[in-house]
Structure 1
Amino acid sequence: MCHQSAVKPSKALEGVHGVHLVSHSPFILEEQKLHGDFHPSTCENLSIGTSNRLTVQRVWEQRPACLRPIRCCVNGDRTPAERMANVLTSLPFIALGIQAPRRNLNCKLYANSLIGVGIASSMYHASRGNLRKYLRWADYTMIATATVCLSRALRNENPKLLMAASAALLPIQPLMVSALHTGMMEVSFAKRAVQDPDLRMAHNVHKVSSLLGGALFIADDMFPETPYLHAGWHLAAAIGVSTCNKLLA
């Protein structure tokens, strides 16, 4: 079949009143496809871009817990007596900060951070309502700050990159920063206790208080309905901090 016969309209209905024949060619449709606003490549690019965004979002949502911001707990202090106990057991950290050695700048920063720990903890436990979650974050962050300051006071030669990374992670992962620098402090304390017999008793008390504090911290998280566990953790932590002050004397 030639091209002319394909586009030539049929004459069978010519002359019938009311019928108007219009030529139709498949090439017209093809021309519209080529010159229209629809571009298959654009659709494919949009689809690929959307798929990439969804993949990145899924990866971000599945990131490990160490890269997630802290989820502050707003439970606890269910009774006035428990609230009062938690506030009172926060005050020893202020006293320890006042009594801490201040022989150089790093020691002064650590002493002041201990005072900040006591203030932040007491404010959190005395607070109510929606403000609690922000003060809980401040409480954790202040504890992490104190561990960083203690690590710097004990070892001024800590790598600068480590200290910079710790400072950057303080607002979002205070518990991870606390664990890292507490571990560094424990190693330093153990080495000093081996070299200095006068520190062995303090180190033994520190080990017991640290183990007890860790057990109470875990129990407080596993059994939030049990009262006074958090206050017990405050006291155990305060005893451990008091032994650390002997390292700076």
Structure 2
Amino acid sequence: MNPQSTLNPSRALEGVHGVHLVSRSPFVTEDIPQNGEFDQSISEGSAFGANRKLLMERIWQHRPPYLRPVHCNIPGDHNVTETIANVLTSLPFIALGIHAPRKNLNGKIYANSLIGVGVASSLYHVSRGELRKYLRWADYTMIATTTVCLSRALRNENPKLLMAASAAFLPFQPFMVSVVHTGLMEVAFAKRAFKDPDLRMAHNLHKMSSIMSGALFVAEDFFPGTPYVHAAWHLAAAVGVGTCNKLLE
């Protein structure tokens, strides 16, 4: 055998039955040019996604303090006088809890939770240092617990799924739980006042106090250096709570 034929595949396959050799491969490979517009759209899409993610992270980092699970958002109690004012204005919640109607188990639980609000608020305002932020969380959580108890006392037929979800979110997002159950209470109060003329005066007072307490709650975040705003919020909220007790009589 010729050595060249062994090295040349075309020579080696000559004469083999069924094999037909051609001078070049019928399959032609060509480089496909990259589409610049396609790459640009990918890069633009990636940049948009990155910017949106960064925006969401910034929004989450700058969310209102009351949406943070454990956060001391109130720089109040700047001095002893303000601390005393905040503690004294927490005491009405204890008094409201003591005098709240206790006609059934749900009413008793709600009344005791009101006492807990006054105690938690007082402990928070006299606290200092690292303990303060945890007592602030306890304060928010106690308020949320009271709204759940009031909602249960007014509407025993609340969906079990709602109550289970409220219990699950209570330690992590007490403010959101408060918003949901306060809304349920407001609806129940409006319906009762519409049917019962004797409740309309209490309902009107409740609406005014709720608007005032909401405005003070927001103002406290926008004007953190203003003294006695938190104490004023305590008083407005206490008036609103007192009118709610009319629903349980």
TM-score bracket for this pair, using the shorter chain length: 0.7 to 0.9
Paired residue for 2:87? Answer: 87
- 2:155 maps to a residue whose letter is R
Paired residue for 1:34? Answer: none
Paired residue for 2:147? Answer: 147
- 2:113 maps to a residue whose letter is S
| Superimposed CA distance per residue, residues 120-168 of structure 1 (whole angstroms, 9 cap, x where no aligned partner) | 0000001111110010000000000000000000000000000000011
- 1:188 maps to a residue whose letter is A
Paired residue for 2:172? Answer: 172
The root-mean-square deviation of aligned C-alpha atoms, in Å, is 2.3
Deviation at 1:68, TM superposition (A): 5.9
Structure 1 CA distance for aligned equivalents of residues 72 and 160 of structure 2: 29
| Superimposed CA distance per residue, residues 89-141 of structure 1 (whole angstroms, 9 cap, x where no aligned partner) | 00000000000011111001100000000000000001111110010000000
Deviation at 1:221, TM superposition (A): 1.1
Deviation at 1:215, TM superposition (A): 0.5
Structure 2 CA distance for aligned equivalents of residues 70 and 81 of structure 1: 26
| Superimposed CA distance per residue, residues 4-41 of structure 1 (whole angstroms, 9 cap, x where no aligned partner) | xxxxxxxxxxxxxxxxxxxxxxxxxxxxxxxxxxxxxx
State whether residues 74 and 133 of structure 1, in contact with CA within 8 Å, keep that contact through their aligned partners in structure 2: no
Distance 1:238 1:172, change over 3 A: same
Matches within 5 A, 1:99-248: 99-248=99-248
Distance 1:68 1:225, change over 3 A: closer
Deviation at 1:70, TM superposition (A): 4.5
Structure 1 CA distance for aligned equivalents of residues 241 and 110 of structure 2: 11
- 1:127 maps to a residue whose letter is S
Paired residue for 1:78? Answer: 78
Structure 1 CA distance for aligned equivalents of residues 197 and 189 of structure 2: 12
Gaps of 5+ in 1: 3-54
Matches within 5 A, 1:6-21: none
Structure 1 CA distance for aligned equivalents of residues 193 and 145 of structure 2: 25
- 2:124 maps to a residue whose letter is Y
- 2:101 maps to a residue whose letter is P
State whether residues 100 and 111 of structure 1, in contact with CA within 8 Å, keep that contact through their aligned partners in structure 2: yes
Paired residue for 1:7? Answer: none
Task: State how many pairs are aligned.
Answer: 195
Matches within 5 A, 1:1-40: none
Deviation at 1:71, TM superposition (A): 2.9
Structure 2 CA distance for aligned equivalents of residues 98 and 173 of structure 1: 28
- 1:231 maps to a residue whose letter is A
Structure 1 CA distance for aligned equivalents of residues 136 and 127 of structure 2: 10
Q: The residue matched to 2:128 in structure 1 has which SS?
A: coil
Q: The residue matched to 2:209 in structure 1 has which SS?
A: helix
State whether residues 151 and 181 of structure 2, in contact with CA within 8 Å, keep that contact through their aligned partners in structure 1: yes
State whether residues 87 and 125 of structure 1, in contact with CA within 8 Å, keep that contact through their aligned partners in structure 2: yes
Deviation at 1:75, TM superposition (A): 1.5
- 2:173 maps to a residue whose letter is Q
Q: Under a length normalisation based on structure 2, what TM-score does the superposition of the two structures give? A: 0.74
Distance 1:206 1:74, change over 3 A: closer
State whether residues 92 and 238 of structure 1, in contact with CA within 8 Å, keep that contact through their aligned partners in structure 2: yes
Distance 1:217 1:68, change over 3 A: closer
State whether residues 113 and 146 of structure 1, in contact with CA within 8 Å, keep that contact through their aligned partners in structure 2: yes
State whether residues 69 and 137 of structure 2, in contact with CA within 8 Å, keep that contact through their aligned partners in structure 1: no
